Amino acid sequence: MNKKQREQLAKLRGQLEEAVSSIREVVSDLETIRDEEQEKFENLSEGLQQGPTGEALEESAEKVGEAADQSQTVADDGDEIVELLQDLIYRLQELAENGDDATATVEDAAG
């Protein structure tokens, strides 16, 4: 892998880090909304909790919570990809510094 490709990998890693950071912000916002909906539900009288209003609030909190959980999973997966890219970039850089730039391939670096 040549220098240009390694630089491109580093750029992509940075872009992915920014995307993961944005997703984590979304997770936080979703968790806040979920908590607010849950609090609204809990502040209802028992009769209203069992009625259409309570059911709607409870379902809303559950759906937003599911979205937060799934978004958290995406962010965690993104972190793993960033780490893999960082390891790959480091290994490729080592190969290049040792004069193996012409033969450095993704397979060599990952193996």
Q: Using one digit for the tens of pLDDT, what is the confidence trace for 49-60?
A: 999 999 999 999
pTM for this structure? 0.77
Residue 49: phi and psi, rounded to 5, are -60, -35
d(CA 89, CA 84): 9
Q: What pLDDT score was predicted for residue 86?
A: 94
Number of C-beta neighbours around residue 6 at 10 A: 19
pLDDT below 50 — which residues of the chain? 102-104, 107, 111
